[in-house]
Chains A and B, each alone.
Chain A
C-alpha cells in the first residue's frame, strides 16, 4: 500500500489542512506504513458479519419535547474570534460580484 503525493493532497483538501510540502511527504510515508499494517484486516472473511453500530444493545432514546433553558448567546459568543450583532462574523462565503 503506497499512497501517491496527489492522493495525500486530495485527503488534505478534504480534511481542510494546508499541509507543507515536507508534511505531505512525511504523511505519505507514514500513512502508507499504517495502511500497510491495516491491510491484514482484508485476510478475514467478514461477508456474514454485521458491522458494529453500537457496543451496547441498540435502542431508541426519546425525551419529551419540552423546551428548557439553554446557554446565553453572550456567553457562547465570548470564545468567538469575531462577532457582529450577536452573530459569528466570517469572511465572504460566496464570490464577490466583480
Chain B
C-alpha cells in the first residue's frame, strides 16, 4: 500500500477528505515504508508508531463526524503524517538532540510550532536524526550514527536536519519539520532534492526548540514543493507569547495561484555567490533556473553583497559563543546524563565530557574562547559589528530587488566521511547559507537540476524580512514550469 506515500501533502489531504483511504491506512503505510527503508537510511532517532496510530484513529473519527456535518470545518492538516526533527520537544516523547547527554530526556511540554501542527490535525510518525544539537552539515555528528542520502546511500543528506530532509525525499512522509541556524534546512533540502523554508528570524516560535544559537535559530519545513511547504508553514508560523522574539506581524496571503507569471518581480543575482570553487554543474543549474524565472517575466538585476566572505568567520564565532552559553545548562543536575563525582565541579566536568560529542565540544571550546576575558572584543565583539555590515548589505540590496537568487551550497551532496578530520572544510560547506541567518532574512531552497552523478542541485531565494510569501510565489511558479521536484530516488 506504499502508493499512498507517493502523494504530496495537498494531494494527501484531498484524498483523505474524499475518503480514498483512511488516516489509519495512511499512517500504517507510512510506518511500513519507514520500517522497510530505515536500515538503509537511518532517518529517525525515535519512531512513534503507537502515537501515530492513536492520532490516526482520532482523525478518522473526526472525518466521519465531518461527513455527517460538513459545515463544521476540519482542521487544515487533519490526518497528515509528519516527522519532526529531534531538537523540537514533544511532550512525553524522548528528545535526544542527537546527543548522548539527552539519551533519556523526556520533555514535559511541546514546542509551539509542533503544538500548532498537532492542533491542525497532524500525525507524528517519529523524531528525525540530526547533527548533535544541530551543529553540523551532514548528520554525521549525531551520536546515533549518520543518515544516508536517499539519492546515493554513500553520501551525506546534508545537515543538520538531514533526517527530516531524507525522510521526505524517500517519501516516508510528505512533510517534516527542521530547524535552520546556519543553513540546516536549506542545505539538506538541496542535497536531498526537496523544498525547504528557513523563515524570517522571529517568524516561527523557538519555544520548545532546544537552543543552539538563540539569535539565529529558526524552525522550518521540508516538503515536496513550495505549495506544501507554504501550507505547513502557514499553520505553525506567527507570534507566540512564549517567545519574546516572535513578532506580531500577520502572515501574508500564502494561497498560491497557478498563474506562473512573474511579471513585475525583480530578482537580484549576487556576484559573491557565483565564485571560483563552486561545482560547475551547480552553477549552471542555478543559472538555468534563473533564466527560467526571467522567461516567466521576472527582471534580473546584478547585485552585490560585499561582506559575504565574512559571513563564515562571523557565524563561527557568534554561533559557538551563543552555543557555549546555551549548553552550559547541561550540568547533570536537573535532567540528562549525570556522571557521579564527589564534588559538584567534578560532576559538571565529567558529565559534560562523557555526554557531548567531538563537534559540540569543539564549538563550546571555540565559543568559550571568543567570549573569554581579553578576547571578547577582538572576536565576539568584532563579529557582532561585522554582522551589522552583512545585515546592511541585505537591506541595501532589498531597496532595488524583491528577492536574491543563489546556489544553496557550493557542491552537491558530499560523501559520508569526506570531511571527517577537517572541521574548517566542513564549515566551508555553509558559506552560501550563513548570511541569511546572520541577517535574519528568510530563505527557500528547492531543486533546480541534477549533476552527472544523479545528485540533486538546489537553489535558494532570499527575501526581505517577513516576505516568505514572495519566495513561495516564485518557487511555485518555477515548479509549474519544471519537474525537478517530481523526481524520486530509486530505493
Contacts and interface: CB of A to CB of B under 8 A. Distances in A.
Contacts of A98: none
A15 B215 contact: no
B256 interface: no
Contacts of A3: 369
Nearest to B320: A34
A44 B104 CA distance: 46
Nearest to B392: A49
B342 to A, nearest CB: 6
A27 B379 CA distance: 18
Interface stretch (B184-192, B289-297, B328-336): B328-336
B108 A27 contact: no
A50 interface: yes
Given A46-B385, A56-B202, A31 B362 contact: yes
Contacts of A51: 381, 384-385, 387-388
A41 B364 contact: no
Contacts of A12: 365
B333 A34 contact: no
Given A11-B372, A51-B385, A81-B332, A16 B348 contact: yes
Contacts of A8: 365
Contact of A34 (B316, B383, B388, B389): B316
A91 B347 contact: yes
A71 B108 contact: yes
Contacts of B372: 10-11, 14
B353 interface: yes
Nearest to A7: B369
Interface in B408-438: 423-424, 427, 438
Given A17-B364, A27-B365, A79-B334, A46 B201 contact: no
B388 A79 contact: no
Contacts of B391: 52, 55
Contact of A71 (B109, B347, B389): B109
A44 B386 CA distance: 8
B382 A15 contact: no
Given A19-B353, A23-B361, A38-B317, A30 B384 contact: no
Contacts of B316: 34, 37-38
A31 B366 contact: yes
B334 A80 contact: yes
A88 B347 CA distance: 14
Interface string A47-75: 00111111110000101000000011001
Given A16-B331, A91-B347, A55 B324 contact: no
A29 B91 CA distance: 41
Contacts of B352: 15-18
A88 B333 contact: yes
A56 B218 CA distance: 14
Interface residues of B, number: 72
B201 A49 contact: no
A46 B335 CA distance: 42
Q: Which of A8, A15, A90, A93 has the most CB of B within 10 A?
A: A15
A38 B364 contact: no
Contacts of A18: 346, 349-350, 352-353
Given A12-B365, A14-B368, A81-B332, A56 B108 contact: no
Given A78-B108, A91-B341, A41 B389 contact: no
A10 B369 CA distance: 9
Interface in B378-405: 378-379, 381-389, 391
Interface string A21-46: 00100010011011101101110101
A43 to B, nearest CB: 9
Contacts of A50: 385, 388
B314 interface: yes
Nearest to B428: A37
Contacts of A71: 108-109
A6 interface: no
Interface stretch (B4-12, B126-134, B173-181, B240-248): B240-248
A37 to B, nearest CB: 6
Nearest to A47: B385
Contacts of B340: 91
B266 interface: no
A92 interface: yes
Given A11-B372, A49-B389, A50-B388, A17 B361 contact: yes
Q: Which of B348, B385, B424 has the most CB of A within 10 A?
A: B385
15 contacts: A16-B345, A17-B364, A17-B365, A18-B353, A27-B361, A30-B362, A31-B369, A34-B424, A40-B309, A41-B313, A41-B383, A41-B386, A51-B385, A53-B384, A79-B335
Interface of A: 3, 7-8, 10-12, 14-19, 23, 27, 30-31, 33-35, 37-38, 40-42, 44, 46, 49-56, 61, 63, 71-72, 75-76, 78-82, 88, 90-93
Given A15-B368, A80-B335, 10 more contacts: A7-B369, A17-B353, A18-B352, A34-B423, A38-B313, A40-B309, A40-B313, A46-B385, A50-B388, A81-B337
